[in-house]
Structure 1
Amino acid sequence: MTIKKGDIIKVEYEGRLEDRTIFDSTELEGGEPLKFEVGTRTLIQGFDDSVIGKDVGDSFEITLNASEAYGVIDPLLVQTVCIDQLPEDLDPEPGMMLGVGDANGTHSMAWVKEVDEEFITIDMNHPLAGKTLYFKIKILETGCEPDPPDAHECGCGCEDH
């Protein structure tokens, strides 16, 4: 059966970066196939779009540029602030994730890009923003039942990953 928008399917997948590092996979998500409704944009756009027109049993590879995946890097989301604005008990290091809030009370995650004696540079872009992603995908099943409303699948698109 050919997959179309609105179908609920299960897939196995593996996502790699340009240096061949695996950043996400069915195995890393506990070995359970990823189940999702096609065309609802609950996953990254390029991954979601790639399964349309495929059939159960198909295995294929895709390459997604940044705009089809987690987006291009937005320089407005990279900010340098005075280290004195941080809580005293925080000892930031490059690569560390921080919860940040803005004047409107909106909270998001940021990763520490650079730290010196006076300033810290944080990046609120998704960690995979600006990157080309490579996926191997195998369609396992279609016609699946939807999950209950309180269930949540992750993998290949969760923002808090």
Structure 2
Amino acid sequence: MNQVKSGDKVKVHYHGKLRSGETFDTSAGREPLEFTVGSGQVIKGFDDGVMGMQIGDKKTVEIPVTDAYGEKDQDRIVEFPKSQFPPDIKPEVGLQLAMSDGQGQSFPVVIVEVKEESVVLDANHPLAGQDLIFDIELVEINSPSRIIMP
């Protein structure tokens, strides 16, 4: 049987959970996730988790925070003056917004606290600081073709 190795394009169904058991993502009802193993398209722990699997294999992979989205970076939590918010936006905890840096790059932030004159914005990935658990089922492997020259 063919086993997953680095460079293979694979398709998997998955169910992602936090340690609390709360589901944060799943491929149920959708097409399987397709990615090239070892290319950095998915988090390291997910990449490592599919290595050696065969079509039809199912497994549960526990991914520590270091192989997932990393620890929360306190430098990515900033206070922003309410006076600089557009007048049509009412700041509320949990509201997701897009901000841009000085180079015109846009990135998502979430309001985590509303103060009298400012709001506290968190630009960390929503799963930063979390250990993750994935139930994975491998449904397809496409190995790159290798041409043998005489």
The answer to whether the superposition gives a TM-score over 0.5 is: yes
How many residue pairs end up in the alignment?
Answer: 143
Residue number in structure 2 paired with 1:52? 51
Residues 1:19 and 2:5 aligned together: no
The amino acid that maps onto 1:96 is L
Percent identical residues: 38
Residue number in structure 2 paired with 1:150? none
**Alpha-carbon distance in structure 2 between the residues aligned to 1:110 and 1:143:** 37
**Alpha-carbon distance in structure 2 between the residues aligned to 1:144 and 1:88:** 53
Report the secondary structure of 1:90's partner residue. Answer: coil
Which one has the largest radius of gyration? Answer: 2
Q: Deviations over 1:30-87 (max 9, x none)?
A: 4211111111110111101111112112111111111211121111100012211111
Coordinate RMSD, CA, aligned: 1.5
Matches within 5 A, 1:136-151: 136-143=135-142
Distance 1:144 1:92, change over 3 A: farther
Matches within 5 A, 1:40-79: 40-79=39-78
Q: Which runs of 5+ in 1 are unaligned?
A: 146-161
CA contact (8 A) 2:7 2:143 kept: no
The amino acid that maps onto 1:123 is D
Residue number in structure 2 paired with 1:97? 96
Report the secondary structure of 2:104's partner residue. Answer: coil
Residue number in structure 1 paired with 2:7? 6
CA contact (8 A) 1:98 1:109 kept: yes
**Alpha-carbon distance in structure 2 between the residues aligned to 1:112 and 1:132:** 22
Report the CA distance between 1:9 and its aligned residue. 1.2
**Scaled by the length of structure 2, what TM-score is found?**
0.89
**Alpha-carbon distance in structure 2 between the residues aligned to 1:17 and 1:119:** 31
**Alpha-carbon distance in structure 2 between the residues aligned to 1:106 and 1:135:** 31
CA contact (8 A) 1:10 1:144 kept: no
**Scaled by the length of structure 1, what TM-score is found?**
0.83
